[in-house]
């Protein structure tokens, strides 16, 4: 650049700077703060003169500079309120607080952004403004603050953390902001009674309450004539140059989570808290850069994590909408409940099944705020069970940072305790079967009050005798079975479910089997069948081994069915292939199945490694009936030339002796025309067409008519041989197509 251009550039810059200096005074006057805005938040509080302790606390917490330079919302108690609070806490003055205590206390009175009353009540979430007409309106009532609990020490109580020392930290506290708008949108009481029930020591105005502190009207504000209540509420905020101030009638003390509150009140809730610790975990370890301490976050497995500050639902938006409701029985109430339930057969809590303790704990924990005006009319617990909670059931209330705690004078019971399986949760002799029900995931269906069920329960002793046990000594406790090698192994999920469902009858017509004194057949939830007679029950394997299950006690449930205690498990591990290989009277028919490769005698079960004869074409069938000719019948048929020698024709001959998708007993029930396993034809238009058999069913007198028109009568003494998913009848004449 030449010298001339340099001089020109300097001249232009100089003119611009001079214009900026001498021309800014009028611009400053033009954009000066309006007189009603006053100074900054700090200047406003200093000028008013009754908030010196709050300002001192701000300084001790190192927040003076941020608040003087940035935009904040402050909830400010008076000096008198602080003095009252310090007296209650046994603190001489604000100067007695440590740095950590000052930060913890001050940050409960500050929000990071400036908020008008409207902005406090209605949040902008999920890309839309939640105004009065918004989908969620004023329901986002919990406000994130920078406050956390001061780290504290804890000793793990139960395995795997028993005796270990932990330094605990917490997440940031969310402070509830209760308003008339919130109670209206949450369908609560508009007279403040819901609020005062949760905060019996606080006052409710018609404006807002910041946790337990009431937002007061600005005493210096000039009230316009004819001001409406809504206008007065909206004028509560003191606007400053860098935010909003809300004057409150008391100090918001450090907020404990439900976890911390229970720790601090073990004289009242120690028993519930002790049970809860059996589900505790310690993780998310971080190292404090100053102290080098390793600090942990606490959580709970299975049970609602009441140590989580965000509440039951975590995430930026949902955490602001919901909080826990903890219905915690006092020790005397819970002890009395345990005395009349679990302690009848269990000597201590250490021996009570975890699933029982889980239901006791979780039923007392709700995942949304339970207002007394609502829960006294209807309430659904964590499992969706309806129940009524009256005011008289609640001794006291305390609002924590992540939920409200109601001290209860009764224990809330889930449907699982009151429905058919209920007594199994408290009987030590049936704990293995209880664990199996839970692990198979059927407890919820057994406790559905609209679905009647019939349940058969064998004892721990009988289950272990039959190769099934619950192993609680391993890292992941589970149901185990004893294989053919005599070794215990975890039971495969599909096998566990079938075993459990072998003991459950749930009829589509909602029938309860309350009388087993007669005789009949039932299709269990597993798809397997049992035969009962005079309160004696056999499944396929019971029948084969001649070790029936006998009913010892019957409990009729008032809600949804009946529970039978049996002296032997119902066993179904007897497949059709095994019958064919074990009964010498059907050897000739079996040999033809093997010859045509329809029967695999050496099939290896992938779980048990047992050798199980497998009839291939029935592997995926849900039910079947087999009409199996005896050796004498096969000899006569062979002599008469009725048994084909060509492989495909022989396959069709053999398959014609099986009815697909139906199990037919000689009990007088099922009659009609049924498809066999023999394929008659296949085409694009008609698909697969199966050859049929006609069955006429009379009690103990079953007949089957084949395609040739011949009718074969089933001898009752050779009928009703149970196999997995089906039934076999031995016949003395072959079936012909």
Residue 676's alpha-carbon distances to 588, 631, 661, in angstroms, are 21, 22, 9
In this structure, the answer to whether residues 134 and 21 fall within a common structural domain is no
Residue 358 belongs to domain spanning: 258-416
Report the 10 Å Cβ neighbour count for 368: 17
Q: Are 215 and 42 in contact (CB under 8 A)?
A: no
Q: Quick: pLDDT tens for 150-182.
A: 999 999 999 999 999 999 999 999 999 999 999
What tens digit of pLDDT does each residue of 266-292 get? 999 999 999 999 999 999 999 988 889
- 613 lies in the same domain as 547: no
Q: What is the predicted pLDDT for the residue at 28?
A: 38
Q: What is the pLDDT of residue 266?
A: 97
Same domain, 15 and 105: no
Residue 13's pLDDT band, with cuts at 50, 70 and 90, is: very low
Which of 416, 436, 466 lies at the terminal end of a domain, its last residue? 416
* Cα distance between residue 662 and residue 626, in whole Å: 10
Q: How far is CA 526 from CA 430, 585, 681, in A?
A: 21, 29, 32
Question: What are the CB-based long-range contacts (under 8 Å, 24+) for 461-465?
Answer: 461/429, 462/567, 462/568, 462/569, 463/432, 463/433, 463/569, 464/432
Q: Strand, coil or helix: what is 72?
A: strand
Q: Count the neighbouring beta carbons within 10 Å of the beta carbon of residue 14.
A: 10
Structure confidence at residue 686 (pLDDT)? 86
End position of a domain, from candidates 208, 228, 248? 248
- On average, the pLDDT of the chain sits at 92
- Distance CA(714)–CA(720), nearest Å, equals 10
Q: What are phi and psi of 28, to 5 degrees?
A: -60, -45
Provide the pLDDT for residue 35. Answer: 57
Which CATH number covers residue 133? 2.30.180.10
- Overall domain count for the chain: 5
Burial of 613 (0-12, 13-18, 19+ CB in 10 A): buried
Calpha distance 261→268 (Å, rounded): 11
In terms of domains, do 587 and 691 share one? Answer: yes
Range list of H helices, 150-223: 180-185, 193-198
Give the pLDDT band (50/70/90) at residue 606.
low
Q: Which of 494, 517, 521 is nearest to 439 (CA)?
A: 494
Instruction: Determine the straight-line distance between the first and last CA of the chain, rounded to whole angstroms.
Output: 110
What contacts 305, CB < 8 A, 6 or more positions away? 299, 312
Give the count of alpha carbons within 13 A of 518, CB side only.
Answer: 7
Has residue 736 been placed in a domain?
no
**Shared domain check, 130 and 97:** yes
The structure's pTM equals 0.88
Quick one: CA torsion of 605, 729, 457, 468, rounded to 10 degrees?
Answer: -20
Q: What is the DSSP letter of 461?
A: H
Q: Does 535 reside within a domain? A: yes
Residues in the chain: 737
pLDDT of residue 685: 87
Can the peptide bond before residue 160 be classed as cis, meaning omega within 30 degrees of 0? yes
Q: How far apart are CA 732 and CA 586, in angstroms?
A: 10
Phi/psi at 635 (nearest 5 deg)? -65, -45
By the 8 A CB rule, do 116 and 233 touch? no
Confidence check: pLDDT of 26 > 70:
no
Supply 629's token pair: 């000719």
Mean pLDDT within 564-570: 98
* DSSP-assigned beta bridge partners for residue 74: 110, 245
Residue 161 lies in a domain: no
3-state secondary structure at position 731: strand
Q: Each residue of 358-368: pLDDT tens digit?
A: 999 999 999 99
Burial of 706 (0-12, 13-18, 19+ CB in 10 A): buried
Residue 643 has pLDDT above 90, yes or no: yes
Q: What is the DSSP letter of 420?
A: T
Q: Within 557-662, where are the H helices?
A: 576-582, 587-595, 631-639, 647-655
Domain match, 304 and 226 both = no
Residue 405 exposure: Cα atoms within 13 Å on the Cβ side: 21
Beta pairing class for 624-629 and 658-660: antiparallel
User: Is the same domain home to 638 and 501?
Assistant: no
In a domain, 543, yes or no: yes
Tokens standing for 115? 């908020």
User: What is the H or E stretch that residue 153 is in?
Assistant: strand 152-155
**Rounded CA gap, 285 and 36, in Å?**
50
Q: Which helix (H) or strand (E) holds 46?
A: helix 41-48
Average pLDDT over residues 32-38: 58
Residue 268 lies in a domain: yes
Average pLDDT over residues 602-617: 73
In this structure, is residue 631 part of a structural domain?
yes
Residue 629 lies in a domain: yes
- As a whole number of angstroms, the distance between CA 468 and CA 569 comes to 10
**533 and 601, same domain (yes or no):** no
Average pLDDT over residues 626-651: 97
d(CA 485, CA 473): 21
pLDDT of residue 570: 98
Examine the domain organization and report whether 336 and 221 are in the same domain: no
Residue 71 burial (10 A CB sphere; 0-12, 13-18, 19+) = middle
Q: Calculate mean pLDDT across residues 344-349.
A: 96
**Which tens digits make up the pLDDT trace of 181-219?**
999 999 999 999 999 999 999 999 888 999 999 999 999
DSSP 611: B
Residue 282 lies in a domain: yes
Q: Is there a single domain that holds both residue 276 and residue 390? A: yes
Q: How many other C-beta atoms are found inside a 10 Å radius of the C-beta of residue 244?
A: 23
Band (38; pLDDT cuts 50, 70, 90)? low
**Average of per-residue pLDDT across 615-638:** 91
CA 272, distance to chain mean position in Å, is 19
- Shared domain for 82 and 8, answered yes or no, is no
Q: Are residues 91 and 22 in the same domain?
A: no
Residues 596-606, mean pLDDT to the nearest whole number: 82
What single string gives the DSSP state of each residue in 676-693?
EEEEEEEETTTEEEEEEE
**Main-chain dihedrals φ then ψ at residue 30, nearest 5 degrees:** -70, -40
Least confident of 80-89, 93-102, 226-235, 318-327: 226-235
């Amino acid at each position: 650049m030449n010298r001339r251009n340099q001089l020109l550039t300097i001249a232009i810059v100089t003119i611009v700077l001079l214009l900026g200096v001498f021309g800014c005074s009028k611009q400053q006057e033009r954009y000066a703060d309006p007189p009603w805005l006053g100074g900054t938040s700090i200047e406003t509080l200093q000028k008013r003169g009754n908030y010196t302790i709050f300002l001192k606390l701000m300084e001790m917490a190192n927040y003076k500079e941020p608040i003087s330079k940035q935009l904040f919302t402050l909830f400010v108690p008076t000096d008198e309120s602080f003095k009252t609070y310090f007296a209650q806490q046994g603190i001489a003055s604000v100067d007695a607080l440590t740095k950590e205590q000052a930060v913890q206390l001050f940050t409960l009175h500050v929000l990071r952004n400036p908020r008008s009353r409207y902005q406090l009540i209605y949040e902008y979430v999920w890309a839309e403004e939640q105004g009065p007409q918004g989908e969620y309106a004023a329901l986002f009532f919990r406000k994130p603050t920078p406050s956390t609990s001061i780290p504290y020490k804890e000793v793990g109580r139960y395995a795997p953390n028993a005796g270990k020392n932990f330094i605990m930290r917490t997440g940031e506290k969310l402070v509830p902001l209760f308003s008339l708008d919130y109670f209206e949108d949450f369908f609560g009481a508009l007279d403040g009674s819901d609020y005062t029930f949760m905060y019996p020591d606080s006052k409710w105005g018609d404006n807002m309450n910041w946790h337990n502190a009431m937002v007061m009207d600005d005493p210096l504000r000039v009230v316009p004539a004819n001001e409406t209540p809504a206008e007065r509420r909206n004028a509560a905020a003191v606007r400053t140059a860098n935010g909003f101030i809300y004057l409150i009638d008391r100090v918001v003390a450090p907020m404990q989570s439900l976890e911390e509150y229970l720790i601090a009140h073990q004289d009242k809730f120690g028993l519930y808290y002790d049970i809860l610790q059996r589900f505790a975990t310690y993780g998310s370890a971080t190292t404090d850069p100053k102290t080098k301490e390793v600090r942990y976050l606490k959580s709970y497995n299975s049970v609602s994590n009441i140590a989580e500050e965000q509440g039951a639902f975590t995430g930026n938006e949902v955490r602001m909408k919901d909080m826990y409701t903890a219905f915690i029985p006092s020790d005397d109430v819970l002890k009395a409940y345990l005395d009349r339930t679990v302690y009848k057969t269990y000597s201590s809590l250490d021996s009570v099944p975890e699933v029982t303790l889980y239901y006791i704990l979780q039923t007392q924990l709700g995942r949304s705020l339970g207002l007394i005006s609502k829960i006294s009319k209807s309430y659904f617990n964590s499992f969706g069970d309806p129940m009524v909670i009256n005011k008289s059931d609640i001794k006291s209330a305390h609002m924590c940072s992540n939920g409200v705690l109601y001290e209860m004078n009764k224990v809330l019971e889930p449907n699982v305790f009151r429905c058919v399986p209920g007594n199994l949760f408290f009987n030590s002799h049936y704990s293995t079967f209880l664990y199996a029900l839970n692990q198979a995931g059927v407890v919820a269906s057994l406790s559905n009050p609209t679905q009647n069920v019939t349940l058969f329960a064998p004892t721990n002793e009988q289950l272990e005798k039959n190769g099934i046990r619950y192993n609680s000594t391993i890292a992941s406790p589970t149901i185990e079975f004893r294989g053919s090698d005599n070794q215990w192994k975890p039971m495969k999920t599909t096998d566990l479910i079938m075993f459990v469902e072998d003991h459950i009858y749930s009829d589509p017509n909602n029938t309860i089997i309350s009388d087993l004194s007669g005789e009949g057949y039932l299709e269990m939830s597993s798809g397997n069948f049992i035969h009962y007679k005079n309160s004696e029950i056999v499944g396929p394997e019971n029948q084969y081994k001649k070790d029936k299950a006998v009913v010892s006690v019957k409990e009729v449930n008032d809600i949804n069915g009946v529970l039978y205690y049996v002296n032997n498990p119902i066993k179904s591990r007897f497949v059709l292939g095994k019958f064919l290989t074990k009964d010498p009277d059907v050897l000739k028919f079996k040999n033809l199945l093997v010859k045509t490769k329809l029967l695999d005698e050496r099939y290896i079960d992938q779980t048990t490694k047992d050798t199980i004869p497998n009839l291939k074409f029935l592997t995926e069938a849900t039910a079947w009936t087999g009409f199996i000719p005896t050796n004498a019948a096969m000899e006569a048929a062979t002599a008469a030339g009725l048994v084909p020698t060509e492989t495909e024709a022989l396959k069709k001959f053999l398959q014609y002796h099986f009815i697909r998708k139906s199990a037919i007993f000689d009990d007088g029930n099922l009659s009609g025309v049924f498809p066999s396993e023999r394929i008659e034809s296949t085409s694009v238009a008609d698909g697969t067409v199966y050859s049929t058999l006609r069955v006429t069913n009379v009690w103990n007198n079953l007949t089957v008519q084949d395609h040739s028109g011949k009718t074969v009568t089933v001898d009752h003494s050779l009928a009703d041989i149970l196999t997995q998913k089906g039934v076999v009848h031995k016949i003395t004449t072959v079936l012909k197509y």
